[in-house]
Amino acid sequence: MLAACVTAAVVIGDHVALRATADRTAAQQAVLWKGDWLEVRGDKKGWLKVYDHRHERGGWIAAKTVKQVELEEASAPAVRAVVDFLRDTPGQESLGIAYAALYLKVAPKGAIDAPLMIELGMMAERLARRASATGGDAAAAEQIEVARSWGVVLGSVEQPDGARICYDGSAFHAGLALGPGVADAATAVLALTEPGCEPMGLGATERAARDEARLALLERVDPVRVGGPVGNQLRVRRAEIGAQLAWADAMKGDPAAAAKRAEAAVSAFARVDKDELAEDDEATYAASAIAVAASRWAALPAAVVPGLALELTAGEAGETCVSVVPKQGPASVPKCTHGHVWPASLRASKGAAAAVVAVEPLPGWLELWMFRRGADGGWMVDVLAPSTDGPDRGYVELAGWSPDGARALLVREARADGVVRKSYETVQLATLAVEHASTTLAGTGRAKRWASAEWHGRTLALR
């Protein structure tokens, strides 16, 4: 704790030298960074005699490289003004954190409010993003240590593309407890539900519990009251998390809960105001669309297909086995999965010579299982994946069949390396060869007429 009579010298630049004596050529005791604080114990010829509590050593520092703050209640308004200024100033996060922490020490009773805690959280989160950026700011790593010296918890979280520095969100939680305004509350809940800081390797139960908590935070803020890009960010994230929970509920064998989740996710996504969608949010919007597209089958009843039925049976532990059963002829050999089979997705071609069903092995990754009947009446089954780059996020869905039942019009949309790509494909059922592919439905030529009205009404590919 700081004594009430202490004068603090706050370092305002990077690579600032703490010297052994009041001379710029004296031995360097330590290198200091924005937001480091020193206890002032004297002065001499433009130098301050100080003690560096972070490095536990004394020395001298040029007075022009620091700002002095008397640690008393009278300093509170000036300190708070600096915090308010630095909250949105990139590159000054560790300095802003220092001033916020000093304000917490000198503020009068009752003056610590929600906006201050949200500001502290914003600066901590922005510093973490800087430190995590590819080829990022070299000073950020040192400024992270400064922030930690003020009690800010910043840790490393493993992600598919490498480790990322993440803030633990304590200031945001404290701000929410103090009853913030709607704008500050939106800032806090978006930060606390950031998917980039979710740990890898969680089990299904733990992942669902975290998603439940994240969704509960988001539901504290009405997107309508915020409006604009921030309102859209709230809707997009609600839709994404809701879709993931729809899959989790379905995997637990609770179709009613899954349907409710999926309906809410579709509703949230449908309410995104595309005219207010910020350019920086377009990739997140596309990724959310994929998640919702993968799980929205949960909100639809099991399909009734004339001449064909879907049969689901239990396989080995945790497996569901799928067969298609025609009105005439043999059923297909069961094919099993540890994912979830969406019965509402069953569709058959003319004469029931081919059928498809959607299977979601992982949340946000939807495969299409294609069943084809051979000349001998037997069935073959192939798994059509959203992409060949491995499961990140994606879906493949049937848009329609050709009138003669010999071809299918499919849509694939997948994210790889952060980029979302979409393809409309005409596929020969005999060989599953792609005859034509286009990035738009119009680009498929006459095949666009194969797209069913039912598909047009439910797909997110045409968003």
The confidence band for 105, taking pLDDT boundaries of 50, 70 and 90, is: very high
For the chain, how many structural domains are there in total? 2
Boundary (domain end) residue, out of 35, 54, 70: 70
Judge contact between 269 and 239, C-beta under 8 A.
yes
The confidence band for 161, taking pLDDT boundaries of 50, 70 and 90, is: confident
Indicate whether 368 belongs to any domain: yes
Would you give the end-to-end CA distance of the chain in angstroms?
56
pLDDT score of 160 more than 80: no
Indicate whether 226 belongs to any domain: no
pLDDT score of 162 more than 90: no
Contacts 24+ apart (CB under 8 A), 427-431: 429/349, 429/353, 429/354, 429/370, 429/372, 429/405, 430/372, 430/406
Boundary (domain end) residue, out of 15, 37, 70: 70
Determine the structural domain holding residue 384 and report its residue range. Answer: 303-458
Indicate whether 433 belongs to any domain: yes
Instruction: Express each pLDDT in 173-196 by its tens digit.
Output: 999 999 999 999 999 999 999 998
pLDDT score of 135 more than 70: no
Q: What is the mean pLDDT of residues 309-328?
A: 94
From residue 41, alpha-carbon distances to 63, 95, 102, 300 in Å are 12, 22, 18, 72
Indicate whether 245 belongs to any domain: no
Instruction: Express each pLDDT in 345-397 by its tens digit.
Output: 999 998 899 999 999 999 999 999 999 998 888 999 999 999 988 778 999 99
Q: What is the per-residue DSSP string for 74-136?
A: GGHHHHHHHHHHHTT-TT-HHHHHHHHHHHHHHPPTT---HHHHHHHHHHHHHHHHHHHSTT-
Indicate whether 109 belongs to any domain: no
pLDDT score of 18 more than 90: yes
Indicate whether 105 belongs to any domain: no
Judge contact between 394 and 290, C-beta under 8 A.
yes
Indicate whether 416 belongs to any domain: yes
* Distance, CA of 147 to CA of 97 (rounded, Å): 7
Give me 413's structure tokens.
């949309």
The confidence band for 1, taking pLDDT boundaries of 50, 70 and 90, is: very low
Q: What is the mean pLDDT of residues 337-348?
A: 96
* Distance, CA of 402 to CA of 132 (rounded, Å): 49
Give me 187's structure tokens.
């800032």
Indicate whether 2 belongs to any domain: no
Instruction: Express each pLDDT in 188-229 by its tens digit.
Output: 999 999 998 988 888 889 999 999 999 999 999 999 999 999
- Residue-level pLDDT at 388: 86
Measured in degrees and rounded to the nearest 5, phi and psi for residue 325 equal -120, 110
- Which CATH number does the domain housing residue 40 bear? 2.30.30.40
Instruction: Express each pLDDT in 288-305 by its tens digit.
Output: 999 999 999 999 988 889
The confidence band for 63, taking pLDDT boundaries of 50, 70 and 90, is: very high
The confidence band for 322, taking pLDDT boundaries of 50, 70 and 90, is: very high
- Residue-level pLDDT at 460: 96
pTM: 0.91
* Distance, CA of 193 to CA of 211 (rounded, Å): 9
- Residue-level pLDDT at 136: 63
pLDDT score of 410 more than 60: yes
- Residue-level pLDDT at 288: 96
Q: Provide, rounded to the nearest whole percent, the portion of the chain with pLDDT above 70.
A: 98
pLDDT score of 408 more than 60: yes
- Residue-level pLDDT at 2: 46
Boundary (domain end) residue, out of 70, 92, 115: 70
